[in-house]
Amino acid sequence: MSEIPSAPARSVLVTGGNRGIGLAIARAFEANGDKVAITYRSGEVPEGLLGVKADVTDAASIDAAFTEVEAAHGPVEVLIANAGVTRDTLLMRMSEDDFTSVIDTNLTGAFRVIKRASKGMIKMRKGRVVLISSVVGLYGSPGQINYAASKAGLVGIARSLTRELGSRGITANVVAPGFINTDMTAELPEATQKSYLASIPANRFAEPEEVANVVRWVASNEAAYISGAVIPVDGGLGMGH
Ligand code: NDP
């Protein structure tokens, strides 16, 4: 009996893949046999991954990063727009800079990398875009008007991209994590963490790998007919939103 051929290694790029959820996603694709590159701004490149320095608020640095990845791994077939920041404060205290800087990284940053990746994907007539949003994008959260707006905007990007490029073998989906144990959530006051926990039906927080496995699957051939979807990984926190 002949063996089932394994899928060819794809060129995968994860923004903000040097730590947290992004690193777990990079490791999941690496375990899948793909060629994985990550962007990082500071610190070290995790072992075994191709690290390219880039800031998603800077289109020129994104372009240079893609050029480097293309030379090493070929055109990016799987793009994970993961880089994100928070700058939480109540509306009354939120400055315009608090708002626009979060939008610039989380939303415009995703636009910049998707635009750069789309050229190669259109040429190849295949591609997978996964945008890392948040339960907060559709559920809302006090003190996170900037962050929630940026994360809700990703849904509009994924759905419009699906309508623009769906006929070219390209899918675009949103993964919306709930409360995941990373540096981002470690910063939250204990009282905030407790109140989140009380509203999570699973009664626990999750590890980055639990998000990574879903991202890997939605970028796989098995998920070829899923596009424009918002996939929650939140222990039931956002049901119905
Ligand atoms: P971390 O704070 O642990 O990591 C954030 C990552 O984004 C880092 O790699 C960071 O790079 C990178 N990054 C931030 N700003 C930029 C920028 N301007 N250019 C390039 N890279 C940048 O966060 P998480 O791992 O927790 O979060 C990852 C994603 O998941 C984010 O989009 C976040 O909003 C989302 N998310 C997280 C949840 C959670 O509970 N943790 C829940 C829902 C969504 P550097 O190391 O250089 O700072």
pLDDT at 165: 98
Residue 19 pLDDT > 80: yes
Q: Which of 19, 131, 141, 154 to mutate to test the pocket of ligand 1 (most atoms within 8 A of CB)?
A: 19
From the CB of 139, is ligand 1 less than 6 Å away?
A: no
Instruction: Give Cα separations from 181 to 69, 136, 199, 206, 234 (angstroms).
Output: 29, 16, 16, 6, 12
From the CB of 154, is ligand 1 less than 6 Å away?
A: no
Average pLDDT over residues 123-142: 97
Average pLDDT over residues 98-126: 98
Average pLDDT over residues 17-27: 98
- Ligand 1 centroid to Cα of residue 58, in Å, is 16
CB-count burial class (<10 Å; 0-12, 13-18, 19+) for 126: middle
Confidence of residue 213 (pLDDT cuts 50, 70, 90): very high
Looking at per-residue confidence, does 172 or 4 come out higher? 172
Q: Does the active-site annotation cover 139?
A: no
Confidence of residue 60 (pLDDT cuts 50, 70, 90): very high
Place of tokens 């060629």: 35
Residue 65 pLDDT > 90: yes
From the CB of 16, is ligand 1 less than 6 Å away?
A: yes
Atom of ligand 1 nearest to the CA of 57: 18
Residue 2 pLDDT > 60: no
From the CB of 235, is ligand 1 less than 6 Å away?
A: no
pLDDT at 1: 52
Domain ranges within the chain, ordered by starting residue: 11-233
Mean pLDDT of the chain: 96
Q: Which of 14, 15, 18, 41 to mutate to test the pocket of ligand 1 (most atoms within 8 A of CB)?
A: 41
Confidence of residue 241 (pLDDT cuts 50, 70, 90): confident
pLDDT at 240: 81
From the CB of 20, is ligand 1 less than 6 Å away?
A: yes
- Name the active-site residue from 40, 147, 196, 225: 147
Q: Which two tokens stand for residue 171?
A: 């899918």
pLDDT digits (tens, 9 = 90+) for 153-172: 999 999 999 999 999 999 99
Look at the domain 11-233 and name its fold: Rossmann fold (3.40.50)
Residue 4 pLDDT > 80: no
What contacts 240, CB < 8 A, 6 or more positions away?
none
Residue 237 pLDDT > 90: yes
- Ligand 1 centroid to Cα of residue 174, in Å, is 15
